Structure 1
Amino acid sequence: MALIAATYGLARFGYGLFLPRFTETFEMSSVVSGSIQAGSFLSFCIAAVMATRLGARPRLVVTCAGATAGLGAVGVAVSPHVLVFAVSVMIAGAGAGFATPGLVALVESNVPAQRRESAQTVVNAGTGAGIVVAGLLMFLTLGQWRLGWWIIAAVVAAVTLAVLRTDRSSRAQPREQQEATPQTRTRRAGLLAALRWPITAALLAGASSAAIWTFGRSIMAESTEGGEAYSILAWMVLGAFGILGALAGKITRAASVAVAWNLTTVAMALSTIALGLAPGVPVSAYLAVAVFGAGYTAICGVLIIWAGRMVPDQAAAGTAVLFIALAVGQAIGSVVLGVLLSLGSEALAFGVAGVLGVLAVAPTMARAATASPERAALSW
């Protein structure tokens, strides 16, 4: 959970929190800042693909997560100009791409089967905890954001070492390394076919979430006097409620993956629309980011469970595929929404993002309509 907090909540999503300071320092437009965030999401995808190729060595994958997130954070801290800054943000984003597949594999090998789904969603909820810490860092390092990113690098290094020390089973039972044979390539193609509906859902949800992750704090900071403290507190509220995403496992057990996905995705979409309409109204804005934080963390947990139920023999690879789809959606959303914001329409940009989130429930309906009764009972 601490590693997810460091790689996601700090090194990856810390970009949106610190964006007003970055914009001042490097004189970036909304199009440039959105493009940099898109690059971070794409580096996440590349790292996740690499993680699937290293799936037989989860300790190495976790090491790569710490190395890239830490190196990227150092790069951000020392960036002399926007080009170095952009590359560093992208390297930092890769850490999260390694972290989730590596940790899914380690949980599988260290936690008893009956507790794995709950354990996976608790680990995933680290994003919210990391965002709260990021908010505290922002308050403590106002005017010295570079110091904040040095601290992020140190935290990443410490928790990576802690995870490696905690793992027990992979040392005693190393997994067999997969070779790139025709059989494994066929297996990967089958994985993509099996996950076609959740991939589509993740793409749409990712594009929707990009509005708040990339531009949420900026529009709040610009919407009222004293916007700096107002928006930082909102980000911390988002993170605190994001920890509630650990309940995703209980929702899926009590109902189903489809119900959990639809509830949390629609809640996230509606909260995005609400923030775009009234970013400067404290009650509605804080409620919106709270719902978004809980909803986003929950949908990530649901994706982990969804992959584990549909392709139980390839859970880590399946999770990586779905998180890649989520990140691709976020990359596209960051660019498109950045352009819409450059036209001066916050309500339009966030409204479009909300509509995409609502559309993300359509694949679950299509999946339910096309699944056989036997497979539906097993994995749905």
Structure 2
Amino acid sequence: MNEKKLIVVGLPMIAVTYGLSRFSYGLMLPYINDTLKMDQYTSGVISSLSYIAYCIAIVLAMGFSNKVTSKFIVVTAGLTSIIGLAIISSSPNAGVLGLGIFLAGLSTGFSSPPYANIIDQNVEPKLQNQTNSWINSGTSIGTAFTGLIAIIMADSWRETYFIFMIIAIFVLISNYKVLPKNQPLAGKEAGRFVKEEWKSATPLILASLLLGISCSAYWTFSRDFMLNNDSVPGYLGEWLWVIIGLAGLVGGAAGAFINKFGLMPAYKISVIALSTSSLLLGAFADHIVTGFLSPSLFGSSYIFMTGVLIVWGISLFKSNPSFGLGVPFLILALGQAIGAVFSGMIAGIMGYQTLFIGASIIGYISLVFKQKN
């Protein structure tokens, strides 16, 4: 299968499931709260449902990779996204909204692992890293698009989610038509716990956990911090996620960089840039340059970093590429969930600046981990 055709359908699916179905909730929350009159606790619980759904779906996608085709899992991702977005757009209360957020969150976990298998079985080896990285960069496009729509449509959140649903329908149809019809199942070893692979994956798991904790502060509180920072223009807060998303397109080059310079140099550069983005926000937030440089570093390095984790994981779990992608993404999500809880506590007690500096330190610590030979 032509890798370019796979990118053309895979990248939009990741954009839909990650950007439109998952990350959009944080941007639309102020307007949703105005309509449904939710308190902060309820809003937080609903937000956690997305993380929970994401983890459940990744586990299911990895576990069933040798029982159903990768195309079936991708179609499941598209359907849960469409249904979730439809429920969100018409939700009359917090309970129904939570159901929609949960279903939309499932789509995110279902969408990533199957593409790793499809690429492994259909794309020539020398192009696989690049293909995985470019499809993964769909997260940045979805984030930028969601941020832009949030600015344009403001409080029309129901109409926004309806538009997202229509987009998801078209993306699902394109994937259904383009992905291989008779895609073979993953190998018999898929889903088995190969002791040697899991042992060699320990540094990857620990690194993913720390990086998840580190970046959760930025994903959760950076926009709110910038919007309430009187030292910088208000438009920086409004356009923060758009900057993050557009900068993330640079992260699509992770595969090509790894092919040329190696996995560990790519890992170190991505971690340093990601951690520095939080450090700048915490230590130099009053400078207007930070308002551009910090989100640019974060967006590009986050997508680059996740691309590195994909390649690292697939190189370890050779018996099942979906495990190679799913394991670091699952641990990254767990780290983000843990980090979100503690970030709120730290921000409330010590303030945002201390939070972002602390997050950067945790990120820098993850530099101690490296691939085992």
Corresponding residue of 2:313: 307
> Quick one: distance in 2 between partners of 1:29 and 1:343?
20
For structure 1, the 5+ residue unaligned runs are none
Q: 1:340: how far off?
A: 2.0
Quick one: which of 127, 134, 154 aligns to 2:166? 154
Question: Structure 1 residue 227: deviation in Å?
Answer: 7.3
Match of 2:113 in 1: 101
Task: For 1:47, give the aligned amino acid.
Answer: A
Q: TM-score, normalised by structure 2?
A: 0.89
1:12 counterpart residue number: 22
Counterpart contact for 1:38–1:330, Cα < 8 Å = no
Distance 2:54 2:240 in 1: 25
Describe the shift of the 1:246–1:213 C-alpha distance in structure 2 as closer, same or farther (beyond 3 A). Answer: same
Matched, 1:250 2:243: no
Within-5 A mapping of 1:37-116: 37-56=47-66, 57-116=69-128
Alignment: residue pair count: 361
Quote how far apart the aligned CAs of 1:351 are: 2.0
Structure 1 residue aligned with 2:238: 232
- CA deviations 1:310-368 (Å, max 9, x no partner) are 2223211121111100100011111111222233611122222222211222222xx4x
d(CA) in 2 for partners of 1:121, 1:137: 25
Residue number among 281, 285, 289 corresponding to 1:275 in the alignment? 281
CA distance in 2, matches of 1:136, 1:303: 28
Return the letter of the residue paired with 1:113: P
5+ residue gaps in structure 2?
Answer: 1-10
1:251 Cα deviation after fit: 2.1
- Are positions 1:287 and 2:293 aligned together? yes
- SS of residue matched to 1:187: coil
Q: Aligned pair in 2 of structure 1 residues 72, 31: CA closer, same or farther (>3 Å)?
A: same
Instruction: Tell me what 1:323 maps to.
Output: 329
Corresponding position of 2:206: 200
TM score, norm. by length of structure 1 = 0.87
User: Is the contact between residue 140 and residue 247 of structure 2 (CA under 8 Å) also seen in structure 1?
Assistant: yes
Structure 1: distance between partners of 2:351 and 2:186: 53
Structure 1 window deviating more from structure 2 (221-230 vs 211-220): it is: 221-230
- The separation in 2 between residues aligned to 1:313 and 1:184, in whole angstroms, is 6
Letter paired with 2:227:
A
Q: Distance between the aligned counterparts of 1:51 and 1:58, measured in 2?
A: 9
Q: Name 2:152's counterpart in structure 1.
A: 140
Confirm or deny that 1:167 pairs with 2:182.
no
Give CA-to-partner distance per residue, 1:165-220, whole Å, 9 cap, x none: 1112xx33522685xxxx87753555432311101101111111111212222222
> Contact (CA 8 Å) 2:20, 2:142: kept in 1 or not?
yes
Query: Deviations along 1:29-81, whole A, 9 cap, x unmatched?
Result: 66654444333222111100000122131011101211222222222222223
Is residue 315–residue 324 contact of structure 2 (8 Å, CA) maintained in 1? no
Question: In 2, Cα distance between the equivalents of 1:71 and 1:207?
Answer: 30
With over 3 angstroms needed to count, the CA separation of the structure-2 counterparts of 1:223 and 1:119, relative to structure 1, is: same
Comparing 100-109 with 271-280, greater Cα deviation is found at 271-280
Structure 1 range deviating more: 85-94 or 33-42: 33-42
Contact conserved, 2:117 with 2:320, CA < 8 A, in 1?
A: no
Query: For residues 337 and 33 of structure 1, do their structure 2 counterparts lie closer, same or farther at Cα, with a shift above 3 Å needed?
Result: farther
Q: Distance in 1 between matches of 2:38 and 2:259?
A: 45
Q: Find the aligned partners of 1:28 and 1:260 in 2 and give their Cα distance.
A: 43
What is the letter of the counterpart of residue 172 of structure 1? N
Of 123-132 and 254-263, deviating more is: 254-263
What displacement does 1:273 show?
Answer: 2.5
| Aligned counterparts of 1:335 and 1:66: Cα–Cα separation in 2 | 29
Percent identity between matched residues is 27
CA distance in 2, matches of 1:338, 1:28: 18
The answer to whether 1:131 aligns with 2:143 is yes
